[in-house]
Amino acid sequence: MTPFKTIKPSTLDRDAFISTFADVYEHSPWVADTVYQAGVDETLDYVEVMHTRMSQAMLSAHHDTQLALINAHPDL
C-alpha cells in the first residue's frame, strides 16, 4: 500500500478534508464529503484505500447525482 507523502487524511477536519479532496471528482465535493461522513480512520492515509472509498461513494450515489457529476465536466 502507498501512503500519502505530504498529508495524513485521517488527521484532517471535515473542511480541510473536503478542501483537499474536493476536486478528485471534478466539481463534485460531495464525493469527498460522503467519504468523510462515512468515517475517517488511519486506513484513509493510503492512496489505494482513498481511491476505493471515493469510487464507492460515487458509484453508490443516486443515478441523478452521478449524471450531474458527468455533466459538471467541460466538453472536451
pLDDT > 90: what percent of the chain?
Answer: 84
Number of domains forming the structure of the chain: 1
Angstrom distance (rounded) from CA 75 to CA 57:
24
Instruction: Kindly state whether residue 2 falls inside one of the protein's structural domains.
Output: no
Reply yes or no on whether the pLDDT at 76 is more than 80: no
Q: What's the domain range around 57? A: 9-72
Residue 4 lies in a domain: no
> What SS3 string covers 6-74?
CCCHHHCCHHHHHHHHCCCCCCCHHHHHHHHHHCCCHHHHEHHHHHHHHHHHHHCCCHHHHHHHHHHCC
In a domain, residue 37? The reply is yes
* Structural domain includes residue 30: yes
- Out of 27, 51, 63, 73, which one is annotated catalytic? 73
Classify residue 48: in a domain, yes or no.
Answer: yes
Q: Is 62 among the catalytic positions?
A: no
3, part of any domain: no
Across the chain, what does the average pLDDT equal? Answer: 94
pLDDT tens for each residue of 6-41: 999 999 999 999 999 999 988 899 999 999 999 999
